[in-house]
Chains A and B, each alone.
Chain A
């Protein structure tokens, strides 16, 4: 009786998992497949071609958008990496008044709707005369990336054995040395995985960029968005496929790093 039931569950589980995963991936697959469709619209399949990719690479506007997106992702994830890590160390290592307030406000961008934040930026920037464009994009992207680094690093710091730092200090290491030789190497994987996620979020952002960008600083997701609103073209499919590839790589890397760091931390303790 139990064995029969167990067999039933053994059968149900993989079928269910596979079914949901197929539904999860089918649309992504469609985007990729249709980027090779020779038809002019996203309609019926009309034959294989790679011409959309060559067209994409020949398009100066697209090249600009790609350049903008990459600069933005690299700079804002690097800034968020530094600021978020410092913040996490500062807030977990010692308590001062207003620490809770700083944490709440800094992680707020994860919780309030992007639309509200986007319009708030546009309103404030216009009012105080901040020029829209790359500078504004970098500042705002850094702001919404900070929570991802901060939370990642904070949870690692809390999970870390305090004995490691204490031992180093007891052996006479200065606080800075403890930070450099013990804390930083142990949290580095979380810092990097937080930055990878930040880069993915930045490469993906439509709403906030929509509000703070200028005509000269279009990003890839904005191109996709405007392309989709006018119905979608195979060129947008090709662009989306490239973005999928980039994000796939970033996620795979960050997961690998995380798995490795878990192993390292476990062996250190």
Chain B
């Protein structure tokens, strides 16, 4: 009997491995291999392909330490940070109100948040471009109201890039925060209130700690893609140089693939670092909300 169970388990295990095989192949050949190739390219001298005969060097990484490149990294991190903070300040109350809305409304609200989330970021940013242009709706309204006389040049400003970033990313904040508030046991808040805690205190000592996992997940989901984004500031017309733009220029304009690879690897390390810290802080699986 025991022998039979063993055989069964072994067969089941073999089946599991067989089932996982195609995914493992994709993971190995189309995720791991390309990344390893980029790592290799970043470690050989400028102008050489990654191969056995190539000259090994750390020069590509040393170049990143130059002040102007460091500034690009700083710019990207700063923009990502502002985007995350603003997304949280706007998104959390939204998620909270959404979770507290009636059952019927909640489904509709959810749909309304998810639809822009899955529509092209390009197309949505384009909409802002139309709104913000010199003779666009916002300038027209401001002029009609007599608040301004000549059109404000919104496009190309830091503010317009930040607006576009928040706009593209805010769903990533709303969804995890919503699921955290939704799962929370509200009788705990009521208990705190019954015991005499003012609303702000009940919020700070009960709601906020209980929804922290959602907030953390949201912050990571917003911050990480922000660091790597490259076409947003292009389209908004900002001359802002971000890591993404720098990498793209190294690939397509300067054609220094080795330096571009080194930059990419630093970007990946940065991303991985954020995830590692998030996991260390007890963060949950990202991706299912």
Q: Are B123 and A240 in contact (CB under 8 A)?
A: yes
How close is A219's CB to chain B, nearest CB, in angstroms? 12
Query: Chain B contacts of A200 at CB under 8 A?
Result: 118
CA A21 to CA B112, docked complex, whole Å: 8
Which residues of A119-178 have CB atoms within 8 Å of chain B's CB atoms?
119-124, 127, 139-140, 142-143, 146-147, 150-152, 155, 175
Of A42, A244, A251, A255, which one neighbours B123 at CB under 8 angstroms?
Answer: A244
Per-position binary interface string of chain A over residues 213-240, scored 1 when its CB falls under 8 Å from any chain B CB and 0 otherwise: 0000000010011001100100011001
A9-49 near B? 1/0 per residue, CB < 8 Å: 00011101100110111111111001000000011100000
Question: Given A106-B23, A119-B264, A251-B118, are A111 and B275 neighbors across the interface (CB < 8 Å)?
Answer: yes
Rounded to whole Å, the gap between the CB of A21 and the closest CB of chain B is: 6
Question: Which of these, A34, A94, A119, contacts B251 with CB under 8 Å?
Answer: A119
The smallest C-beta distance from B18 to any residue of chain A, in angstroms, reads 7
Residue with the greatest number of chain A CB neighbours at <10 A, chosen from B126, B167, B264, B288: B126
Q: Are A143 and B118 in contact (CB under 8 A)?
A: no
- Chain B residue numbers with a CB within 8 Å of A43 are 133, 135
Measured in the bound complex, the distance between the Cα atoms of B33 and A23 in whole Å is 42
Q: Contacts A113-B244, A124-B37, A127-B49; is A86 near B22 (CB within 8 Å)?
A: yes
A5–B161 Cα distance when bound, in Å, is: 38
Distance of A137 Cα from B109 Cα, bound (Å): 35
A147–B285 CA distance with the chains assembled, in angstroms: 13
Instruction: Check if A25 sits within 8 Å of B116, measured CB to CB.
Output: yes
Contact check, B260 vs A119: say whether CB atoms are below 8 A apart: yes
Determine which of A27, A114, A248 lies in contact with B127 in the assembled complex, contact meaning CB atoms within 8 Å. Answer: A27
Interface hit among B60-68, B142-150, B209-217, B226-234: B226-234
A120 and B34 contact, CB distance less than 8 A = yes
Q: How far is the CB of B251 from chain A (nearest CB, A)?
A: 6
**Set of chain A residues within 8 Å of B268, measured between Cβ atoms:** 112-113, 116
Asked whether B74 is an interface residue with its Cβ less than 8 Å from the other chain, the reply is no
A28, B171: Cα distance in complex, Å: 15
Contact across chains for A123 and B23 when beta carbons are under 8 A apart: no
A155 touches B30 (CB 8 A): no
Scan B1-44; emit 1 where CB is below 8 A from any A CB, else 0.
Answer: 00000000101110111111111101110111111011001000
CB distance from A24 to the nearest CB of B (A): 6
Q: Is A115 an interface residue (CB 8 A)?
A: yes
Q: Which residue of B lies closest to A152 (CB)?
A: B288
**Is B159 part of the contact surface with A, judged by Cβ < 8 Å?**
no
Interface residues in B274-289 by Cβ distance below 8 A to A read 275, 285-288
Contacting A115 at CB < 8 Å: which of B27, B35, B124, B230?
Answer: B230
Taking residues whose C-beta sits less than 8 angstroms from the other chain, chain B's interface range is: 35 or more
Contact check, A247 vs B118: say whether CB atoms are below 8 A apart. Answer: yes
Distance from B60 Cβ to chain A, minimum over Cβ atoms (Å): 14
**Cα–Cα, bound, A112→B30 (Å):** 13
| Shortest beta-carbon distance from A258 to chain B in Å | 10
Given A17-B98, A30-B137, A143-B31, is A110 in contact with B287 using a C-beta cutoff of 8 Å? yes
Q: Give the nearest-CB partner of A211 in chain B.
A: B251
Alpha-carbon separation in the docked complex, A228 to B233 (Å): 12
Chain A minimum-CB-distance residue to B100: A13
Q: Are B120 and A117 within 8 A (Cβ)?
A: no
- Other contacts beyond A91-B16, A115-B247: 12, CB < 8 A: A16-B94, A17-B94, A17-B98, A86-B23, A113-B227, A113-B268, A116-B268, A117-B35, A123-B38, A152-B288, A175-B15, A206-B231
Query: Chain B interface (Cβ within 8 Å of chain A)?
Result: 9, 11-13, 15-24, 26-28, 30-35, 37-38, 41, 49-50, 90, 93-94, 97-98, 100-101, 107, 109-116, 118-131, 133, 135, 137, 167, 170, 199, 224-225, 227-231, 234-235, 244, 247-248, 251, 257, 260-261, 264, 267-268, 271-272, 275, 285-288
Q: Mind listing 30 A-B residue pairs with CB under 8 Å? A: A17-B94, A27-B126, A27-B130, A29-B127, A31-B126, A90-B15, A94-B13, A99-B20, A105-B32, A106-B31, A110-B286, A111-B275, A112-B271, A113-B224, A116-B228, A116-B247, A116-B264, A120-B34, A120-B37, A123-B37, A124-B37, A140-B30, A142-B26, A155-B288, A224-B123, A228-B129, A243-B120, A244-B119, A244-B120, A251-B114
